[in-house]
Structure 1
Amino acid sequence: MKITNLKLFHVQPRWLFLKVETDAGISGWGEPVVEGRARTVETAVQELRPLLIGADPGRIEHLWQQMYRGTFYRGGPVLLSAISGVEQALWDIKGKRLNVPVYELLGGACRDRVRMYGHLKPAATAADFPLSAMLEITDRRLSAGFTVMKYSIIPPIRPIDSLETVDRVVERFAAVRERVGRKVDVAIDFHGRVSPAMAPRLLDALAPYYPLFVEEPVLPENVEEMVRVARSTSIPIAAGERLFTRWGYRELIEKQAVAVVQPDLCHCGGIFEARKIAAMAEVYHMQTAPHNPLGPISLAACLQLDACIPNLLAQEHPGMPDRRDLGEGILKTPFAIGPDGCIPIPTGPGLGIEVNEDALAALAYDGGWDPPRLFFEDGSLADW
């Protein structure tokens, strides 16, 4: 079997899909994208074309090593996202060729279903929104059976902020906690928006309300600061969506800066790379909660990983009202979250999905999307 073609599709609201075709009539799908840089990643995928066309798609590790190590400059969000999408598609092809789900090729299933968590915000670009809107979404999540939810801290937070700001952050979390009760888990994402000086103050104030975890309490570049912040609280710390490959995770895991790793299978290097990261975390008794704010192919890849790792905490997905992130209007058989807040592990070959290519035409766009830019009162830039 040989790879014959790569096809890319920009799909609203901000996704990039990849179809890898072969001379055997078997095709695989992946989702190679960096949010806000889809056209850049598209170029990176095209630059891999000379390496991939004519290659045996079954030699996944060999091709991964060539894509990653074959040039002098390694890593980074653009190259690794391109590699991730290709790698997902290659696993899809291999599973279809052997007529088994990908997780069967990675050790088999550890569970029957995957616990899901959705976001408590009205849109991916929403920077601020009233508490009443968040509580309405919370009610919908509860009605749908979710037992885990997450929202991002309302920005911006000044590097050293006021007691009023701390009270506002706690008030919102406390209201959600009151609404969901004690059996449902709620996580909060600081999104790297909080400084090392403010993070311990906010964590201390939030601790009585028992967050499931706090994600990216500080930016992940300085692992020592993440360690210091983690040691200051009893709240489990999560991070990893902005880290790439097992080498990017090594220091975070070895220094035990987190209790939960969050590899993004569209950024970290793909399904097998995320499996290696989960195994590294398992050695330190850490949990894995794959990051996924993207589309249904990303979710399909995540579910294959979720099925076969022993240290899964829960699986993120955006929870779009139109269910497009679950594949509604995109996959011939969309994913469905059951009344227990879980998705049964897929049983179909490869990624377990069939993409409706005709539907992609109606969702096509030029690939342009920028994250919102936030500013402090004095006009200086705040982290998003």
Structure 2
Amino acid sequence: MPKIEKLCTIRIAERPNLLWVEVTTDEGLTGLGEAFRGAQAVEAVIHEQVAPALLGRDARNIEGISRQLLTPYVGFGSSSAEIRAASAVDIALWDLAGQRHGIPVHEALGGLSREKIRAYNTCAGYDYNSRQAGSIAGRRDIGSGDVARGPYDDQIAFTRDAGALAQSLLEEGYAAMKIWPLDPYAAATQGQSISLEDLKRGLEPFEKIRAAVGDRIEVMAELHSLWSLPAAMRICRALEPYGIYWAEDPLNKMDDVASLAELRRGARVPICASETLGGKVAFRDLLVAGATDIVMLDLTWCGGLTEARKIAALAEAWARPVAPHDCTGPVTLVASLHLALHASTAVFQEVVRATLATWYRDLVTVLPKVERGFISAMEGTGLGTALLPQVAKRADAMVRESRQGA
């Protein structure tokens, strides 16, 4: 019986929203997981709540461990610190399972539904959401900045010349992109309304994309949970002429299934929901209410791979496509790719070409490769990647361990 003997968490000051979790067993294997946002809170949950329940347990019993960690007395009904901690540990346990049997995680999940999957580029910059710790007051990095730091500073690019950005993505083989030019106009009214003048300014990047490349690229509109129902309705109706692939997280409460269903009935753009939700019940409620067209989940916020494949099964039962989220960290991307290649209704895997080309490479041993707009399966056992040893040795690294018997 492979017993869990150590939990180790690693944070670095340079990327304060990220936390890595390493789960080590007495068979000499170490599995890797990741958490994003509120890293210090998740770290505390792992060492103060998860470790006492996990140390000494059989690492093979992923389902039982998942159920225990996803049903804390409080915090179970959202993507709370408890659920984010459970998600990170769950990903590490699947990594261990694959390593133990000498197979990749997607095979451990039940095998591939496809050899490769389309990628879309989220047009963020090099440090989007990663340099500053998340806070209640500043939930989202929605500013565009002023100075481009390189050829992939795509958030600046879509505010300046979205048409040229679309052309550059097509040249690299990307057939889909996601932008959020309406975000800056939410602050004036706390998202309760949007003026016609601001709406027209926010639509300009969509106009430039269609003028530059026509219908050769799919465009997703990210709305970042910033808007009331009337404002979101106005925005979504205004987006209809541009043939967007989806409007993502339009409402400021994405668990408000009644309002989301009303929006979906009243606007003729597909609704995508929601990376912010935790647990299969929240997604079941969305589907039962007819509140979403595309199911987006984040493996580090919804409960890990164990819960994510159940959410994907629900999406399949409702004939809805799945699109795993990644605008977080490299381990999340790798784990999401395993799910996206396994889940039968997955249609896209999100990537950020700026981070793939830069700091993701400084953290893990192997990254997925995007070739002509598609990502293929990872090779190797488990996740197929590991945290580089030098990360824990950095001067700004904060390492904490919990051991059996300590």
**Distance in 2 separating the partners of 1:121 and 1:75:** 29
CA distance in structure 2 between the aligned counterparts of 1:69 and 1:361, rounded to whole angstroms: 34
Deviation at 1:333, TM superposition (A): 2.6
Which residue of structure 1 aligns with residue 185 of structure 2?
156
1:170 and 2:203 are equivalent in the alignment: yes
Q: Is the Cα–Cα contact under 8 Å of residues 164 and 212 in structure 2 kept in the other structure?
A: no
Query: 1:221-260 alignment to 2 at 5 Å?
Result: 221-260=255-294
| Contact 1:307 1:345 (8 Å CA) reproduced | yes
Q: Which residue of 2 aligns with 1:99?
A: 102
- Report the CA distance shift for 1:346/1:30 in structure 2 as closer, same or farther (over 3 A): same
TM-score by length of 2: 0.84
Residue 345 of structure 2 aligns with which residue? 311
Relative distance call for 1:81 and 1:171 in structure 2 (3 A) is same
- Show the counterpart of 2:235: 202
Q: What is the alpha-carbon distance in structure 1 between the residues aligned to residue 398 and residue 165 of structure 2?
A: 30
SS at match of 1:248: helix
Equivalent-residue separation in structure 2 for 1:165 and 1:72 (angstroms): 41
- The ranges of structure 1 where at least 4 consecutive aligned residues each deviate by more than 6 angstroms after the TM superposition are none
Structure 1 partner of 2:40: 39
Residue 366 (structure 1) shift: 6.3
Alignment of 1:102-121 (within 5 A): 102-121=105-124
Residue 324 of structure 1, CA deviation: 4.2
Give the Å deviation of 1:249: 1.3
Per-residue deviation, 1:352: 1.4
Q: Percent identity?
A: 30
C-alpha distance in 1, partners of 2:193/2:266? 17
Q: Check 1:309–1:215 CA distance in 2 against 1; reply closer, same or farther (3 A cut).
A: same
Distance 1:73 1:208, change over 3 A: closer
CA offsets per residue over residues 64-105 of structure 1, 9 Å max, x none? 122223546534321110000000000000100001111112
**Structure 2: segments with no counterpart, 5+ residues:** 129-140, 146-155, 400-406
Contact 1:262–1:289 under 8 Å retained in 2 = yes
Q: Is the 8 A contact 2:366 2:384 kept in 1?
A: no
Q: Residue 270 in 1 paired to residue 304 in 2? A: yes
What is the CA distance between 1:171 and its match in structure 2? 1.4
Residues 1:16 and 2:19 are matched in the alignment: yes
Q: Report the Cα distance in structure 2 between the residues aligned to 1:88 and 1:363, rounded to whole angstroms.
A: 27
Gaps of 5+ in 1: 368-384
What does residue 136 of structure 2 align with? none
Q: Cα deviations across residues 115-139 of structure 1 (Å, max 9, x unaligned)? A: 1112223352342456226555444
What do the CA deviations read for 1:335-376 (whole angstroms, capped 9, x no partner)? 2211x2111111311111132121453484569xxxxxxxxx
The number of residue pairs the alignment matches comes to 363
Deviation, structure 1 residue 110:
0.6
**What's the CA shift string for 1:298-356, capped at 9, x where partnerless?**
0111011011111112111233256246x412222332211x21111113111111321
2: distance between equivalents of 1:156 and 1:360?
40
Given candidates 45, 55, 60, the residue that maps to 1:53 is 55
Contact 1:296 1:324 survives alignment (8 Å): no
Q: What residue number does 1:371 align with?
A: none
Residue 165 of structure 1: how far off its partner (Å): 1.2
Give the equivalent residue in structure 1 for 2:378. 346
